[in-house]
């Protein structure tokens, strides 16, 4: 969340929602989706048009064994002008492994 550039208040909202759910499991696989990749979940229109719209979704699932993954690049929010931030997430069965 620091890398993504969420403020501590935004982080608190995110972590108090998802944290306890992930912490229940010994191990989780976590993947993030950003911006245009989030249109598969929902699209929105905002008037007047914001200068920055940033969307971040956490996709995760509990796993039994550690698997080798390349660390994902976390796209940061650039808070320039009228900024909109949306976060969400879902528990998923399959996830990208690259």
Partner 1 sequence: MKILIILFFATVSFTSTALEYKRLPSCYLLSDSLDTSLPSDSAMYTFEFNGLSEENTQLIYSSGTNTITYNFENEHTLKLILPSGKYKFEFYISGYDEIVTGKLEIQKQHHSTYRVQMEHQVFKGQMKKPVIYLYPKENLEVSVQLNIHGQDPFYYPEYKNSWSFTADPTGQLKFGESTYNYLFWEANMDAPKIDHNYGFMVEGDNTVTFLEEQLNLMGFTSKEQADFITFWGPQLTQNKLNYVNFIFNEACDEFAELSISPQPDNIFRVSMIWQPVNEPWELESPLMEKMNRNGFTVLEWGGMELPAIYDAAEI
**Considering only residues 8, 52, 83, 97, which one is a binding residue for partner 1 as defined by CB under 8 A?**
8
Best CA proximity match to 36, nearest among 5, 75, 79: 75
DSSP 86: E
CA gap 94, 25 in Å, rounded: 17
62 belongs to the binding site for partner 1 (CB under 8 A): no
Least spacing, CB of residue 60 vs partner 1, in Å: 14
Phi, psi of 71 (to 5 degrees): -65, 135
Q: What mask of x and - would describe binding to partner 1 in positions 26 to 55, judged by CB under 8 A?
A: x-----------------------------
Binding interface with partner 1 (CB under 8 A): 7-9, 12, 15-17, 19-20, 23-24, 26
């Amino acid at each position: 969340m620091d890398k993504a550039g969420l403020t501590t208040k935004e982080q608190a909202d995110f972590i108090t929602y998802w944290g306890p759910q992930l912490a229940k499991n010994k191990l989780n696989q976590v993947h993030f989706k950003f911006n245009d990749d989030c249109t598969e979940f929902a699209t929105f229109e905002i008037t007047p048009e914001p200068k920055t719209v940033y969307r971040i979704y956490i996709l995760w699932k509990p796993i039994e064994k550690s698997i080798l993954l390349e660390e994902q690049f976390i796209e940061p929010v650039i808070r320039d002008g009228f900024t909109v931030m949306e976060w969400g997430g879902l528990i998923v069965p399959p996830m990208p492994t690259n």
